[in-house]
Each structure stands twice: as structure tokens, then as C-alpha cells.
Chains A and B, each alone.
Chain A
Amino acid sequence: MIMLEKRPQPSRAWTFATPIVAVLLTMVFGGLLFAALGQDPLVTIRTIFFDPLFSEFAWFYRPQLLIKGAPLVLIAIGLSFGFRAGIWNIGAEGQYIVGAICGAAVGLAFYPMESFIILPLMVVAGALGGLLWAMIPGLLRVKFGTNEILVSLMLVYVAEQLLASMALGALRNPEGMGFPGSRNLAQYPSASSWITQSAGMHWGVVTALIAVIFAYIALSRHIFGFNVRLSGQSPRAARFAGVNPGKLILICMGISGTLAGLAGLFEVAGPAGQVSIDFNVGYGFTAIIVAFLGRLHPVGILLAGGLMALTYIGGEIAQSNLGLPIAAIQILQGMLLFFLLAVDVLTNYRITSARKAH
């Protein structure tokens, strides 16, 4: 009989091996899935995981990696604080949308004035938008004990409605001949978040890297990160250590909301360019996978964000070159989280074969 036995200490080796094993398993089972769809599994896996980096068209795909990866990493870093503390903000997508709307609104208000101050003001507005949207589930949780998972998730749908109404109403481009969607911020120099568009560099990429560094320092060197970890592992011990649980909830929700809002702002002012009905593409949800795939560790999240961006871009190539349905790519991404959580058990448990008592 095979049994799981709790390890006295979490295994360090498995902490690092888990993501790699999960990726390999995803490749194997993803390959089987593609074979069942009538594709050559090796070609498909190569197309998704290697072509974006090493094919002859890699010069075109590599900047895309930065563009897709930056919002994922930025949002996931914010989420990782709450997830470590046992605070489940599932609504980063909504905070991302509201951040984009607020930031874009500030930029559009200045159009067509040119000034170096416009982008910084947009950044502040975007961050505040995300922060306030996240404070709704945070405050409700602290004051009334509501479930932050449900409230934050439902606020995503509210944010989507808000986005649609903005794209069709208040923020619609007056020179857009009645089409929904705002002016293109990427073509408005003072409001554009692009640094070098051809290289995929925009301020969101820079901010994501800064966030990784700050998160790393906070979690490993600062008492705040210590309290976050302590609260997640032993809430009673955290109270005993003097952590105020309500304050911690608000701070963690605030960080994740702020970073999601920033991600939305940089996206709307650069890669997306405008506030449109279909502006959001699920970064806020995918970032949850990225956060866990990266083991809630800042450096891990950076790598996981890169990997997830890879599957996005590789998936698009597979879609156009091999005619693979988009659902197959989404299943592949789902598998990644599934295998990660499954293999994760081995960090804290080991498999033993117990002799069955007869």
C-alpha cells in the first residue's frame, strides 16, 4: 500500500524541483492531448515552448514575451503577499480594469497637452484606482467578515460593466466616428508607457522588475514580510506576535490592488493603447497561476511569468501555424497549475510503501 508520510521538515530539494517536474509533466500530458487532437506532439510542444525563443522568427516573438510577461509578473507579485498571508484576492482582473480606466481617464483629460507630468499622474491614478477597487472586499472583510474571495471575484464583473460603459460613453474617442473605445494613448507621446516599442520595453516592464526586487527584500529582510508569512502559516501565533489581522488584510489587499491597477494602466497606455470593451484578456486570473507556479516567491514569479507568457505566445503560433484550437492552449495552462499543486504535495510529504497489516 502506498502512503503519504509527513516530512519533519519541508524538503528543500522538492521546493525547487516541483515547478520543473510540473512543467515536464505538463509537456508530457499536453503532448498526449495534442496527439489525441491529431497533431504531432513533439512539433506542438516545440512550437509552444521553444519556437518563441529560438526559431528564425524569435526576433519578433521575444519582445512579445516582455509585453505579455510584465503584467502577469506585476499582478502576481501583488497577489503573492495576500496568498502568503491567507488572504485570497481573486479579483485582480477587476482591479486591473479599474486601474486602467482611472489612469487612462487622467491621460485623456490632458489631451492634447504635452507635458512630462502626465504619465506620472496617470500612474498615480491607475494605482489609486486598483487600490480603491481592492479596498472594497478588504474593508468588507475586516468590518463585516464577508468572504473576500466572493466579493473580489464578483467585483470583476462589475468592473467589466464599468469598462464597457466607459468605452461606449465617457471615455469614447470623440473623433472615433462612433466606434466604441477611447483615443489611442500609445500615440499620445506624453501619455504613452512605451520606452522602446520595437523591443517590447515599456514602463510596466520596469515596474514589474522593481516590484520583484522590493517584494524579495520585503519577504526576506523585513518584518512586514515576516508577519505576512507568519499570518499565513499560523494565524494564532501571528496574533501572539502582535500582528493586527485586520490591518494586515487591508495592507495585502492594498498591495495587490495597487500593482494590478498599475499593470492595467501600463497596458492601456502602451500595448493595448485604448480603453475598449475587450481591453482585459484575463491577466488578472492568469496571474493567480503565475503566483503559485512561482511558489509565491518573487524570483519564482518572475520565471513563472516568463513561462506563462511563453505558453501564450507559443499558443498563438500553434494556433496560426498548426491550427490548434485556443481551448487546447487553455487546457495546457490549466494542466500546469494542476500538476504544480499535485507535485507540491511532495514538498511536505514523502511517499512510503507501508506493509499492510494482514
Chain B
Amino acid sequence: MTEPLLRLWGLTKAYPGVVANKDVSFDIGRGEVHALLGENGAGKSTLVKTIYGLVKPDSGTMTLEGEPFQPAEPRAARAAGVAMVFQHFSLFDAMNVAENIALGMENPPPQAEIAARVRQVSDQYGLPLDPDRIVGELSAGERQRVEIIRCLLQDPKLLIMDEPTSVLTPQEVAILFETLRKLSREGTAILYISHKLEEIRALCENATVLRLGQVVGTCDPRTTSARDMAELMVGSTLHVPHKEDKPAGETVLALKNLSAKAPHRFGTPLRDITLQVRKGEVLGIGGVAGNGQDELVAALSGEMKTAKAMIHYKGQPIGHLAPNARRKIGILAAPEERMGHAAAPDMSLTENAILTAMTREKLTTNGFLHWGKARKFAEGVITAFDVRTPGPQNAARSLSGGNLQKFVIGREIMQAPEVLVVNQPTWGVDASAAAAIRQALLDLAAKGAAVIVISQDLDELMEISDRFAALNEGRLSAPRPAAGLTVEEIGLMLGGAHDMEVAHVDA
């Protein structure tokens, strides 16, 4: 066997109280597409940060092309031929593509030269991108291309991609995969981090699975089933949410030509949304982030008021009602952003329980709080949803993202809502917790509640939805039964190849 491109040997990194990586060793060959798998907190980020020079390991060595490789900082890693595309983009909205790329360079050549090289690389790898466009106008997929091209201009030997497809439509994913395959054929190795197992099966030749900081297995994703890989990640048999067939009930929530201005400059206006949600069904709403998801949740939760008649609940107009009035009649919501929106980070879990459960759980009398009752309710949520925390007196910010999400979703479900609206219920949540949350949503629907799940994870929506609709630039497609929808149909509902169509002109 020839010498690998990158060899990791015995990498260990401990933080106070937690070992992020323990004796991690594996090889990446030239031109290999290597998947790094693991649940949240398994140590994937620490490992790639080590390779990219952001983290210094406590022990262990790395070699790149046979030479010792110890990047002290990302600049050194880049100089050695390692490039990374982060999950969160670092781009300036007000500048154009070429200017953004120049900002990341050590000695940027003149703008015209950068623009020419961007065009050349974007042609070569099938990544359509105009260097003169302002980044603020680009879709998430196009922004990612800016980051990728920024990396490719360095002519890397190893390209690290952290959760690259979470913001892409299926069509954009297809374009991205073509590019990555081409890069791989030309000899660039790719370290691909994702929790979407089907993607990994379609793209990668090798996979290393991390659990609690240690390598627990390697496999060839092309011949291993997604379920087996998931079980390797979780370390136990995975519970697949179980959905019962049931007849559709009566309509509880109806949106009638719901339109609303964008609440702030970077928001999306809602345009003419008409929708009926029935008792006992799960309605999945897909769409790429920033197409009106936050605004739709705000309009339903009452944070954003609309004209009275635009929202009807059991035949009554409720568009004007404030959040707690809606909670009182049975409409609950869990917004996407956990820290600072669904929960107050510096407050205890008991206090966070009061935040939304005050009305329905009767946690106050004449405005005076019942701390004991609130604490009991919080403890109930913690137990029922397996929230890992020493107790309800702990601050919300001390919980991991997945645990806090379980608490936030559990807090709403435990209040027995008649309509529950959740946005990205399993975003950043590990596989077993995600399965538990989905099952809880299905159980809630089985008890007769109407559940609206807004998510960017199409697999999730297909797994739990009875009907599916897509948000695109604030418009909602007509819902269709989820069973039997093909990926192509879903892609078209989401707005097709988002970036290739002519931009909508506002009326």
C-alpha cells in the first residue's frame, strides 16, 4: 500500500472534564473521500480543528505526505495544503464574491485577476458563481460555493467539509457531489463530516466512526447499510419512530391568505399562505433556511401579529392574539433558536419552564409564581424526555444543544397542546435523541393534536409527515400527501435549482 496523504496517530485532546479525542488514528489516502461520522459531542469538530491547526493535541502525531505535520495555526495548515469549509460561513454580506475571496488571502492579487480565477475554477468544477455579485443576494448554496472556491484557489491536497449539505436543496446537493467527485478524481482528498448517512453512502469510499472521542469502527459506506452505521455511531440499537395510520380529523387551524411584511431587514415576508391543518396529522414544511420559516413560526406563535382573519383556530379568528392568549386556547410553538429565543440561557430550567408553561400549567396566581409547582413541571419534562442535567436548578446554557432541545420540545408537549408548531426540532441533536423527539411528536399527533413540523431535514419530514408542503421565498406550496413523493418532486416544490432561476420580482 502506498503512503497515505494524511496519517493521524494516537491523537488525544482533553478539555477540563471531558476527553474530546482519545487515541484517534486513521489514514486518508490521496484522492480519497473519507467520511467522519459521529453523534454530536463525539469529537468530530475537535479532530478536524486539530488537523486545521485550530486545536493543539495533548499527544499524538500527524504526518502529511510522510512529513511531520503540526500546524500551529490555520495559516500553517493552509500553507501545507489543508483547506476547510466551515458549516457557518464567514462572508461579508455587503461585499461581492471576489472581494470576499480576496479578504481570505495572504497577498491578494488584483480584483480582476481574482475574478478571472473564480470564473475559471467555477467553470472547471461546475460550480456556477458570478464573482461580481454581492454576497448578501446569494442563496445559501451559492454562499457555500464562495467558500469552496476560496478553498480551491489554494489548490489543496485535503479539503475538509463540515456538514456541507445542511443548507442545500437536493439539486444543490447533487451539484456539490459532482464537484467533490471531480476533485477526488484529480487527487484531492476530502474529509467529509455529516450525519446524513445516505449522503455518505452515495459519496464516500471510507468512513471512520467516532463515539465519545474514540474510533469505534471503520467501514465502507458503499456496502454498509445506513442503519448499521447509525448503530455504530450510537452504540446501541436505534429506535425507528413508529407511525400509525389513522384517518384525518377535522380542521383545527386554518391560514387564509396569510401575508406579513418582513419583521426586520434580513427577514422574509410571508406571501399569501393558505393552509388547513387537521386534528391528528403531522404536516411537514420543508424549505431552505431563510425562506420564511422563522416568520411563519412567529405568526403562528403570536410573536408577530397578523390581521385577525388570516389565522383561524377552530373557526375563530385569532390572528390578533398575543402568545399567551394562544397558549391558553391550545396553540404552542417551539422556535428554532434554542438559546435566547425558545429558552433564556442564563435562567434555570425551572425558570425556563415558566417561560411558556405559565398559562397552561397555571404556574401563577394573581401574578405570584408557584416555584414548587414550576420546579415539579420542569422535573417532569426532564424525566419524561431524558434531559441529561443534574437538576432543574441548572442554567439552560449548561445543557448541550441536544439536551436543551429535548427540554424545549418536551416543555411544549407536556402541556398537551392541540396545535404544536416546531421549527427544526432535531437540529444539532444526536441520532438517538432525534429519534425520541420524532417519536414524541408522532405520539402527540396520535393523541389527536395537529403538529406542524418545519425542518430542513427532508429525511426527517418524510419519516414523520402525513402531508408535506414547502416554503419558498415566503410562499407555501400546496400540501401533498408525503407518502409516495419522490426526491425530484420535493426538489421542485422547494423551488428547484434555487440559484438558477430568475430572482422573484416583488410586486
CA distance A238 to B337 in the complex (A): 13
CA distance A358 to B364 in the complex (A): 57
Contact B395 A242 (CB under 8 A): no
Shortest A89–chain B CB gap in Å is 23
CA distance A240 to B398 in the complex (A): 21
User: What number of residue pairs across chains A and B have CB atoms under 8 A from each other?
Assistant: 78
User: Which residue on A lies nearest to B54, using beta carbons?
Assistant: A357
User: Which residue on A lies nearest to B395, using beta carbons?
Assistant: A9
One digit per residue, 1 when the CB lies within 8 angstroms of any chain B CB and 0 when it does not, for chain A 231-259 equals 00110111111101000000000000000
The one of A223, A244, A355, A357 in contact with B72, judged by C-beta atoms closer than 8 angstroms, is A357
Interface hub of B302, B345, B367 (most chain A Cβ within 10 A): B367
One digit per residue, 1 when the CB lies within 8 angstroms of any chain B CB and 0 when it does not, for chain A 1-36 equals 000000011100000000000000000000000000
**A229 CB-CB contact with B under 8 Å:** yes
One digit per residue, 1 when the CB lies within 8 angstroms of any chain B CB and 0 when it does not, for chain A 200-242 equals 0000000000000000000001111010011001101111111
7 closest Cβ contacts across the A-B interface? Answer: A242-B324, A242-B323, A234-B344, A8-B398, A357-B56, A236-B341, A237-B344
One digit per residue, 1 when the CB lies within 8 angstroms of any chain A CB and 0 when it does not, for chain B 376-400 equals 0000000000000000001101100
Contact A237 B323 (CB under 8 A): no
27 contacts between A and B (CB under 8 A): A8-B395, A8-B397, A9-B398, A10-B395, A221-B369, A222-B368, A222-B369, A229-B347, A230-B344, A230-B351, A233-B345, A233-B347, A234-B340, A234-B343, A234-B346, A237-B342, A237-B344, A239-B303, A240-B323, A240-B335, A240-B342, A241-B324, A241-B358, A242-B302, A242-B323, A242-B324, A242-B327
**In A105-161, which residues have CB < 8 Å from any B CB?**
none
CA distance A222 to B364 in the complex (A): 8
A223-B368, A241-B355 as given contacts; A236 in contact with B398, CB under 8 Å: no
CA distance A229 to B361 in the complex (A): 21
Contact A226 B398 (CB under 8 A): no
Q: Chain B interface: which size bin?
A: 35 or more
Interface hub of A239, A240, A355, A358 (most chain B Cβ within 10 A): A240
**B112 CB-CB contact with A under 8 Å:** no
Contact A240 B394 (CB under 8 A): no
CA distance A9 to B342 in the complex (A): 19
Shortest B428–chain A CB gap in Å is 18
User: Which residue on A lies nearest to B340, using beta carbons?
Assistant: A234
Shortest A35–chain B CB gap in Å is 41
**B205 CB-CB contact with A under 8 Å:** no
Q: CB-CB < 8 A to A222: which residues of B? A: 367-369
Q: Chain A interface: which size bin?
A: 20 to 34
Q: CB-CB < 8 A to A9: which residues of B? A: 394-395, 397-398
Shortest A351–chain B CB gap in Å is 13
User: Which residue on A lies nearest to B398, using beta carbons?
Assistant: A8
User: Which residue on B lies nearest to A244, using beta carbons?
Assistant: B322
User: Which residue on A lies nearest to B363, using beta carbons?
Assistant: A223
CA distance A236 to B351 in the complex (A): 15
**B272 CB-CB contact with A under 8 Å:** no
User: Which residue on A lies nearest to B338, using beta carbons?
Assistant: A237
CA distance A230 to B395 in the complex (A): 13
Q: CB-CB < 8 A to A8: which residues of B? A: 395, 397-398
Contact A241 B356 (CB under 8 A): yes
Q: CB-CB < 8 A to B364: which residues of A? A: 223
10 additional contacts (CB under 8 A) given A226-B369, A237-B342, A355-B56:
A8-B395, A222-B368, A223-B354, A223-B364, A230-B344, A240-B342, A241-B324, A242-B302, A242-B327, A244-B322
User: Which residue on B lies nearest to A235, using beta carbons?
Assistant: B340
The one of B56, B302, B355 in contact with A237, judged by C-beta atoms closer than 8 angstroms, is B355
Interface hub of B344, B367, B397 (most chain A Cβ within 10 A): B344
Contact A236 B368 (CB under 8 A): no
CA distance A236 to B304 in the complex (A): 12
The one of A226, A229, A233, A240 in contact with B341, judged by C-beta atoms closer than 8 angstroms, is A240
Q: CB-CB < 8 A to A229: which residues of B? A: 347
CA distance A242 to B364 in the complex (A): 15
Q: CB-CB < 8 A to B303: which residues of A? A: 239-240
User: Which residue on B lies nearest to A229, using beta carbons?
Assistant: B347
Shortest B493–chain A CB gap in Å is 29
**B73 CB-CB contact with A under 8 Å:** yes
User: Which residue on A lies nearest to B359, using beta carbons?
Assistant: A242
Contact A357 B73 (CB under 8 A): yes
**B301 CB-CB contact with A under 8 Å:** yes
Contact B72 A237 (CB under 8 A): no
Q: CB-CB < 8 A to A236: which residues of B? A: 337, 340-341
CA distance A237 to B339 in the complex (A): 9
Q: CB-CB < 8 A to A358: which residues of B? A: 72
Q: CB-CB < 8 A to A230: which residues of B? A: 344, 347, 351, 355
The one of B324, B344, B356 in contact with A233, judged by C-beta atoms closer than 8 angstroms, is B344
CA distance A226 to B340 in the complex (A): 15
CA distance A105 to B73 in the complex (A): 70
CA distance A230 to B345 in the complex (A): 10
Contact B341 A234 (CB under 8 A): yes
Q: CB-CB < 8 A to A226: which residues of B? A: 351, 354, 369
**In B309-358, which residues have CB < 8 Å from any A CB?**
322-324, 327, 333, 335, 337, 340-347, 351, 354-356, 358
**In B78-108, which residues have CB < 8 Å from any A CB?**
none
Q: CB-CB < 8 A to B371: which residues of A? A: 221
Q: CB-CB < 8 A to A221: which residues of B? A: 368-369, 371
Q: CB-CB < 8 A to B394: which residues of A? A: 9
CA distance A238 to B342 in the complex (A): 9
CA distance A132 to B392 in the complex (A): 42
CA distance A309 to B395 in the complex (A): 36
CA distance A233 to B340 in the complex (A): 8
A221-B368, A222-B367, A358-B72 as given contacts; A240 in contact with B397, CB under 8 Å: no
User: Which residue on A lies nearest to B327, using beta carbons?
Assistant: A242
Contact B367 A224 (CB under 8 A): yes
Q: CB-CB < 8 A to B351: which residues of A? A: 226, 230
Q: CB-CB < 8 A to B369: which residues of A? A: 221-223, 226
Contact B346 A233 (CB under 8 A): yes
Q: CB-CB < 8 A to B342: which residues of A? A: 237, 240
